[in-house]
Amino acid sequence: MKSVLESIALTFVPHLGVRGAAHLLECFGSAQAIYQASAAELSSVADLREDVARSIVARSGMKEAERELQYCQRHGITPLAYDSDEYPQLLRNTNDFPAVLYVMGDSSILNRRAVAFVGTRKASPYGQRMCNELVRGMSQLVPDAVVVSGLAFGIDGEIHRAALIENLATVAVLANALPAVSPAAHRGLAADIISRGGALVTELNSQTKQNGNFYIPRNRIIAGISTGTVVVETPESGGSLSTAAFADGYNRSVMAVPGRATDNNSRGCNLLIRNRKAQAVMSGHDIVTELMWELEMESVPAPVREKLPLTGQEESLLAYFGQEPLSIDVLQARSGLGLGELSLLLMNLELSGALRQLPGKQYEKLI
């Protein structure tokens, strides 16, 4: 058995920290070997401070680790040690990898081809549409790809939902301990991710005191387990830019979706592209090409979506739409239909794939 207990224990050693633990693991190869080393070996091989070396020799963190393992067993959480076969290899290649990851769901997908999608919590209809377009195009070319994001409101949630719609496995990296889900409104989405072959991942144990400072460190894991990162939509100072910076620091591909120069939500993406920090991508094909996945993938025919026939009333209602979304109030005023009849037509158009509903009772034409 891999050194799960010792890996967890490392995270409880006082004054060691994430980078210190990563450095020790690189020097000794496993947490088990670290705990078998003498204080002199820890100091000489890893240039470790004497007080930290003495703590490890005294088995510091073991009691907390035993308690954490019991917690994981009670809640169906799988801890992955650094030397576990299922620990993500791409993350292991970074210089600040976690000594242990806590996973709910299918941990085997963490070593499949993955791409991260990140963006603002205040996604616009354009950003939401691009989430669907990018994931749909990518799924047709690489049906075994894994979509990674952070389960937050906005772009994160839209990306996870798009992946589920296209039958792609998706990984949500959380800034809180499992089995809790934050935001709580996404508990249902998290359950769907697990039930559809995806996974929830965090580096935080159950004894972590939440203080709101774990989102930026979480972003390094999103970037670290992914071959590349796509910034879909973000303002100039958006937190998603930290994920792009981590990806760049790990020598991974950074991509961004361009937007209108006047749109604040696209300013961050446009600046990344202008400053040559990111490659502009406008389709799933662009992403696959940038990651050079087309050199590896088999020839898979794109799935044919069956289109349901529309009634005359449905076609008439669809004619009111242009490129921009319309609210139900505007549609009612233009069509002269009663609210009940209009709602039924809108539902039928959604089911046929002609429309999609956006937040705020807005509807967008898809065909």
pLDDT tens column, 131-169: 999 999 999 999 999 999 999 999 999 999 999 999 999
Inform me whether the pLDDT recorded for 221 exceeds 50.
yes
Contact 227, 255 (CB under 8 A): no
Which H or E run contains 249?
helix 240-249
Q: Does 58 or 303 have the greater pLDDT score? A: 58
> What is the pLDDT averaged over residues 203-208?
95
The whole-angstrom separation of Cα 169 and Cα 147 is 6
Q: 220 falls in which pLDDT band (50, 70, 90)?
A: very high
The whole-angstrom separation of Cα 178 and Cα 102 is 7
Residues 6+ apart with CB under 8 A from 208: 176, 177, 214
Inform me whether the pLDDT recorded for 301 exceeds 90.
no
**Least reliable range by pLDDT among 126-130, 296-300, 308-312, 347-351:** 296-300
In the sheet with 326-327, reading across from the earlier edge strand, the strands are 326-327, 362-365, 355-358
Query: If you ran DSSP here, which 8-state letter would residue 304 be given?
Result: P
Chain-centre distance for alpha carbon 188: 16
Residue 365 sits at the vertex; the CA angle it makes with 362 and 367, to the nearest 5 degrees, is 165
Q: Does 208 or 1 have the greater pLDDT score? A: 208
The whole-angstrom separation of Cα 175 and Cα 355 is 34
- Percent pLDDT > 90 in the chain is 77
pTM for the model stands at 0.80
